[in-house]
Chains A and B, each alone.
Chain A
Amino acid sequence: MASGIRDKVAILGMGCSKFGERWDRNAEDLMVEAFEEGLKDAGIERDQIEAAWFGTAIEEQHVGKSGIPLAMTLRLPYIPVTRVENYCATGTEAFRGAVYAVASGAVDIALALGVEKLKDTGYGGLPQRGRGGLNNLFWANISAPGSFAQLAAAYRAKHRVDAKDLKRAMAHISVKSHDNGAKNPKAHLRNRITEDDVMKAPMIADPLGLYDCCGVSDGSACAIVTTPEIARGLGKKDLVAVKALQLAVSNGQEVQFDDWDGSYFATTRVAAKRAYREAGIDDPRKRISMFDVHDCFSITELVTMEDLGISEEGKAINDVLDGFYDASGRVPCQIDGGLKCFGHPIGASGLRMLYEMYLQLSGRAGERQRPAPVLGMTHNLGGFPSQNVSSVTIVGSYGA
């Protein structure tokens, strides 16, 4: 019986670039920006890194394929560099690779770095691209907002929710994230908005309006991980350790079989259960201090809080409107501003979420700092509600 990842690996240092429309910077510049911060934070030399995982998803827009762009940009000394791509979980997947390498004992110190430069397409939104030879011949003409928007239709039908009530809760989610993002100097969007702004925004994919959608940005983030023993040996105190690293991938049941109703993420439910078991958490609603979930769209966040078992099924609207997930609420969600305000440079996002958890757990989150957080959870979702990859990561104080 595998013992899981809990407390086997500690975060030695993290870095995160400023996210935004970085017109004056290449992807390589953003990578260096994140790496310099991470390396200083870790307090090590570059040559102490023994292996690296590099996350990019739409690499044809910027650095190209393989691990070479990371090795060349950072001048890594001929170490193994693995490039990973797993839709929007790409950044978290890079982290998982580095953590597993350390946990296995194969290396002492490993780097995970994710980057995406999305703003060189010439238009707003994610780059339009093919889905693969056969898929191009039969997949519906879907966009990201269009596929996630369908959650709302199915959720309303299942729980008999009025369209306006659901949209109001979705609006609150975006307003709350903007309130948080306004306090974060690294966020892309730092303006506050009102529920009315959200309700009246131009439609993107019914019922998702402009403010129901996360931004599109350039950015990079990284983590340097090692064993708790080595971290201590390097003088680190109050270690932030990895508690759970789970990933669930659709096998076609949702999109081809008949037992899914379109209103939730089957993968997230599986990954969350496994993560709580791995981290030894029985009552996540009470024990998790804060969340950074994959709020690519407001409806995604709402549904996800049920799939993670924090809100009861069909009741997330109440928690959202009660302010349960606000910065001032019981369990804040997107305390850094989330994808909503950081945008979603795909390869970087998972690591950017962990960066906030790491800052909070280290007591270094400045204006956004929560009182004595113990456990933080991040979540990524890549693909479409009907077929996706869902990652659930828990980090927290070592030994907690």
Chain B
Amino acid sequence: MSDAFGILSYGAYLPRRRLQRKTIAAANGWFNPGLRSLAKGERAMANWDEDTVTMAVEAARNCLAGMPPAAIGQLMLASTTHPYDDRQNAGIVATALHLGSALRVLDVTGSLRAGTSALATALAVGGNALVAAGEHRLAKAASPQEMHYGDGAAAVLVGRGEPIARLVAAHSETVDFVHQYRGHDRAHDYAWEERWIRDEGYMKIVPAALGALFAASGTTASSVTHFCMPCTLPRVAAGLAKRVGLPETALRDNLAAACGDSGVAHPLLMLAHALEDAKPGDRVLVAAFGQGCDALLFEVTEAIRKLPPRAGVKGALARRKEETNYERFLAFNDHITLERGMRAETDLGTPLSTLYRNRDMITGLVGGRCRDCGTLQFPRGRYCVNPKCNALDSQDDQPFSDLGAKVMSYTADVLTYSPDPPAYYGMIQFDDGGRMMADFADVDEGKVEVGMPMRMMFRIKENDAARGFVRYFWKATPAANS
């Protein structure tokens, strides 16, 4: 086992629904005919029960899957769309991932390069750190942003061991160039003219950062094999490559056509995508733009051949379902006022003390495993549920989040209130024992069957709109869709 330092693993997550851009154009072209020229491809669209935190948890699980357990000392969650202003969002992710309490966590925000800044900081600080970035981006109806943006998350594990990529050089430029911004308490971004952003922003600030990176590290632009430049303005990335002297072949697909621009998460998503394609010796350059520029240059190592297989970005892109209902997109993002019915008025409150006592169970899906009889059970009771055992206080912690399960019974319910009716739920039986009545996520209508394999996903259970509290829990999703 080597003791080198660098990137140990990566992961990605995209919401399954892909809103077709021609659907947006069909809905809003009457108002903004210019949208029709953007009506190509699709954008990832968070389900009603997904946000930055849930997507970051899934990306992090993807990143950690199959990895030897490492003592992670630091977790950063980068986003401009954290669900909480005052509650450590990264702390929710840490609890969902069972990372323990001996942990330094940071929510990193304030700029579209928060993801790369978090990664650069983790690499500079040293130690085992998980850097997650997620974004649930809102945009006004009929805006170009609505077309360009997408929702998603990525995660990178850095630390000592056998890195799949080591950092060659990093450089950051900070310039208060405001190409877009979102003031306090505003839901949407305010953006300036694209031509100015291109000419005065990207084409000047990025070359300065990359020039400084190459100069300081004694490397050359021509040595770069993968250039990750998340910019959706036409021809800007190619223009930058040319100006800086990067090989034309190094320019990577910015994934805009397949999933949209996932903001803070996007540079890390592109990095993960590059690592999926990279061979040992390849050099991956990641740049991120936003009131300056972060630039990180990595060299891929032999260890990439031994990285445990994962869905990664390609798996996330392949896990897709076309969405052609624009009103559903508006409703999920609370952009139209639906008559949700009286059942939606039920106020369950938010008992913080109850949640705290049971945070491992609720946020971490931790149940019990009986030391006396071996029975797995969720939730964990004081007495073992096995009628032949019933031992008192005999259970150790047993996380269920990574255990496979199968559908035992199910329904599609149109009576109960759901933001996306019908509500699918049912009893699932875990393959190793234990069962629960679970909500289902990302189910295709008419495709659920008894015996169908399921896996657990971290999701929003309910939004307590009266108090601005998001309740998270785990749901079962068809394993074939994940």
Chain A interface (Cβ < 8 Å from any Cβ of B): 121-123, 125, 128-130, 133-134, 136-143, 145-147, 149-151, 153-154, 156-157, 203-206, 208, 251-253, 255-258, 261-263, 384-386
Contacts of B427 in A (CB 8 A): 150, 154, 255, 262, 386
Interface residues on B, range: 35 or more
Q: Closest Cβ of chain A: how far from B48's Cβ, in Å? A: 12
> Cβ of B410 < 8 Å from any Cβ of A?
yes
Interface 9-mer from B168-176, B203-211, B224-232, B347-355: B347-355
Partner of B412, one of A138, A205, A386: A205
Chain B interface (Cβ < 8 Å from any Cβ of A): 341-343, 346, 348-349, 351, 354-355, 358, 361-362, 375, 377-379, 381, 385-387, 408-418, 422-423, 425-427, 429, 433-439, 450-451, 461, 471, 473
Complex: how many Å from CA A204 to CA B341?
Answer: 15
Contacts of A257 in B (CB 8 A): 375, 377, 385-387, 435
Q: Are A153 and B450 in contact (CB under 8 A)?
A: yes
15 A-B pairs within 8 Å (CB atoms) are namely: A123-B343, A128-B416, A138-B379, A138-B461, A142-B425, A154-B408, A204-B413, A204-B415, A205-B412, A206-B413, A251-B387, A252-B381, A255-B435, A258-B375, A262-B408
Contacts of B415 in A (CB 8 A): 125, 143, 145-146, 204-205
Q: Are A153 and B426 in contact (CB under 8 A)?
A: yes
Q: Closest Cβ of chain A: how far from B394's Cβ, in Å? A: 15
Q: Closest Cβ of chain B: how far from A135's Cβ, in Å? A: 10
**Nearest 4 Cβ contacts at the A-B interface:** A146-B413, A150-B409, A157-B450, A149-B411
Given A140-B425, A255-B436; A153-B413 close (CB under 8 Å): no
Q: Closest Cβ of chain A: how far from B368's Cβ, in Å? A: 10
Complex: how many Å from CA A113 to CA B195?
Answer: 78
Q: Which of B341, B349, B461 has the most CB of A within 10 A?
A: B461
Q: Are B433 and A140 in contact (CB under 8 A)?
A: no
Q: Are B426 and A150 in contact (CB under 8 A)?
A: yes
Complex: how many Å from CA A140 to CA B425?
Answer: 7
Given A121-B342, A137-B355, A151-B409; A258-B381 close (CB under 8 Å): no
Partner of B351, one of A133, A143, A205: A133
Contacts of A255 in B (CB 8 A): 427, 435-437
Contacts of A157 in B (CB 8 A): 450-451
Q: Closest Cβ of chain A: how far from B347's Cβ, in Å? A: 8
In the complex, residue of chain A having the shortest beta-carbon distance to the beta carbon of B390: A251
Contacts of A203 in B (CB 8 A): 412, 414, 422
Contacts of B461 in A (CB 8 A): 137-138
Q: Closest Cβ of chain B: how far from A392's Cβ, in Å? A: 21
Partner of A123, one of B342, B378, B423, B437: B342
Q: Are B437 and A145 in contact (CB under 8 A)?
A: no
Q: Are B385 and A122 in contact (CB under 8 A)?
A: no
Q: Are B437 and A386 in contact (CB under 8 A)?
A: yes
Complex: how many Å from CA A208 to CA B422?
Answer: 13
Q: Which of B410, B433, B437 has the most CB of A within 10 A?
A: B437
Contacts of B473 in A (CB 8 A): 137-138
Complex: how many Å from CA A4 to CA B414?
Answer: 44
Partner of A137, one of B354, B426, B450: B354
Q: Which of A136, A252, A253, A386 has the most CB of B within 10 A?
A: A136
Contacts of A252 in B (CB 8 A): 381, 385
Q: Are A128 and B437 in contact (CB under 8 A)?
A: no
Q: Are B346 and A130 in contact (CB under 8 A)?
A: yes
In the complex, residue of chain A having the shortest beta-carbon distance to the beta carbon of B450: A157
Q: Are A205 and B411 in contact (CB under 8 A)?
A: yes
Complex: how many Å from CA A206 to CA B415?
Answer: 10
Given A121-B342, A123-B341, A142-B425; A256-B416 close (CB under 8 Å): no
Complex: how many Å from CA A153 to CA B428?
Answer: 13
Q: Closest Cβ of chain A: how far from B351's Cβ, in Å? A: 5
Complex: how many Å from CA A293 to CA B74?
Answer: 59
Contacts of B423 in A (CB 8 A): 141, 146
Given A140-B437, A150-B426, A257-B386; A205-B413 close (CB under 8 Å): yes
Complex: how many Å from CA A175 to CA B423?
Answer: 28
Partner of B348, one of A122, A136, A140, A263: A136
Contacts of B416 in A (CB 8 A): 128, 141-143, 146, 205
Q: Closest Cβ of chain A: how far from B64's Cβ, in Å? A: 24
